[in-house]
Copies of this chain bind each other. A is one copy, B any other.
Amino acid sequence: MKEYQTDPFKGTFGSLENLADKISDVLSCPVTIEDQNHRLLAYSTHEDSTDPARVATIIGRRVPEKVVNSLWKDGVIPRLQESDDPVRVSSIQKVGLGDRVAVSIRKNSEVLGYIWVLEVEKKLTADDMHLLKLAAVSAKSQLLQMQIGTKKKEENRQELFWKMLTGNLPHEERILEKLHELNILPVLPAVVFILQLQEEVTPALEKDILYLAAVNQKINVLLSAADSNQMLLLASPVGKEQPLDLAKSFVESFFTHMKERFSVSEIKAAYGSLVTSFTQVEKSYKEASSVLAVQEKLGGETLSLTGYHELGIYQFLDTIYEKQQRQGYQNEMLKSLQEYDRLHKTELYHTLETYLTMDENLNKSSEVLHIHMNTLLYRLKRIGEITNIDLKSPHQKIMIYLDFKINRLF
C-alpha cells in the first residue's frame, strides 16, 4: 500500500487565491473556496473548462440560491457539516452542477467554509481525497488568520426554510430564534404548499405568486423558496373558516390566476397537513410531496385532490405497501393476470383496472377502453376464470383496487 504523502499544503500561502491554485495544481482540477454562507472566497485559475454552477458562483461571488437549495435537499450540506471527510456529489443537471467533491473547512465542530473540487477531466482517487482533507486543514488556518471565520453565520430566509423542510433543524426554540432574527412572526398553525409549474420558477414568477398570496388574504406566507419548477411556501391560514379550507381556497385562486398564463394540466398544487410546531414542517412538506406524487402517477380524479387530508385511501397506500414489502406479499391474482396478458397478448390487467376505476360501470369502462360492451363482459368473465377473483366480494375488490394503485405508485 502507498505511504501517505507529505503534506503539500504546509506553510502559509499569503492569500487564499494562492492556496486555491495550489490545491488545483496538486489535484489537477478547478477549485473554489467558499465561506459558511456559500460566498466565494477564492477560486483557482485553472485553465480547464468548468460548469455553469461554477461560472455563476464566480460571477455572482456567491453560490446561486438554487444550487444551495438543491444541495440541502439532497442532504449534501448536512453531511459536509457533520464530518470533515470529503463528500462526492454526482452531477445535478437541473442546477448546472457537474460531478464534484467537497470538504468542509472546520474549527472543531464549527464550519468555517467549504472547498469544492470539480471533477471535469479526472476523478479524484482515495489519495486525492486524503490530500483534500489536508488542504481543508490548511485552509482553516488561513481563514482563522484572515479572521474570516470569526464572522457570525448569517442565515438567510431561504437557507432557514430549507433546513426546516429537510428536517435539519430539529429544535423548536432555535427555529423560533432564527425566525425572530429574520423578523418573521412565528404564526401557527401553518401548512407547507407546493405549487408546481411546468417551467422554471423565475424571480418574476415568484414575486407574482407571493403577490397573489398577499392579495388573496387566505394565507399569510412566512417563508418561501423556488425549487426549479416548484414554488414552496410555508404559510399560515388566516380567517374564521377551517384552516385547511382556507388552504384549499388559496390553491384554487392560484389555479384561476395561473390559468391565464398556462394550461391547467400543466400546473399542479398540493399542501400537507396543518402543523402546530415548526419542527413538523418537514412532515408537512413530505405530505405535500406525496400528494403531488399521487397526482402525477395516478392522474384522473386525483388531480383535484390538493390537500393531504383529502387523499383518503391514497394516504395509506405507502403504509400498506411497506407492510406488504416486509411480509413479502404478492398479489397472486394480479400476477397471474399479467402473466396471461404476456402469453396471450391481451389486456386483461388494464381492463380490470379500468373497470374498477370506472366504478364498475360497463358503459363508461367500455367507452374508455374503446371496446364493445360485450367484449368487456367477455373479458371480465375470463378474468374471473383465470384469477378466481370474485367480483361480488367488496373485500376482494378493494384489495385488488389498492394493489393496482400501489403498482402504479411504487
Contact = CB atoms under 8 A, between A and B. Distances in A.
A276 to B, nearest CB: 11
Interface stretch (A98-106, A212-220, A250-258, A388-396): A388-396
Interface string A303-329: 000000100111110011001000101
A398 B273 CA distance: 22
A398 B402 contact: yes
Contact of A273 (B320, B327, B392): B327
Interface string A342-370: 00000000000000110110000000000
Nearest to A361: B392
B313 A319 contact: no
A394 B356 contact: yes
A48 interface: no
A319 B323 contact: yes
Interface in A388-410: 392-396, 398-399, 401-402
Interface string A324-346: 00010100000000000000000
A209 to B, nearest CB: 28
Nearest to A357: B394
A393 to B, nearest CB: 7
Contacts of A398: 312-313, 398, 401-402
A402 B312 CA distance: 10
- Which of A313, A357, A396 counts the most B-chain CB atoms under 10 A from its CB? A313
Given A301-B395, A401-B398, A323 B316 contact: yes
A-side binding surface: helix, strand, loop or mixed? Answer: helix
Contacts of A356: 394
A315 B327 CA distance: 11
Looking at A316, A357, A396, the one whose CB has the most chain B CB atoms below 10 A away is A316
A398 B401 CA distance: 9
Contacts of A323: 315-316, 319
Contacts of A394: 356-357, 359-360, 401
A326 B179 CA distance: 28
Given A319-B319, A327-B273, A314 B359 contact: no
B319 A392 contact: no
A329 B312 CA distance: 10
A401 B399 CA distance: 12
A277 to B, nearest CB: 14
A312 B395 contact: yes
Given A327-B273, A398-B401, A393 B359 contact: yes
A315 B113 CA distance: 52
A202 B101 CA distance: 73
A329 B309 CA distance: 8
A301 B393 contact: yes
A312 B394 CA distance: 11
A312 B392 contact: no
Contact of A312 (B314, B316, B399): B399
Given A313-B402, A394-B401, 5 more contacts: A302-B395, A312-B399, A313-B395, A359-B393, A398-B401
20 contacts: A273-B327, A301-B393, A301-B395, A302-B395, A312-B395, A312-B396, A313-B399, A315-B323, A316-B319, A316-B320, A316-B323, A319-B319, A319-B323, A320-B320, A356-B394, A357-B394, A359-B393, A359-B394, A398-B401, A398-B402
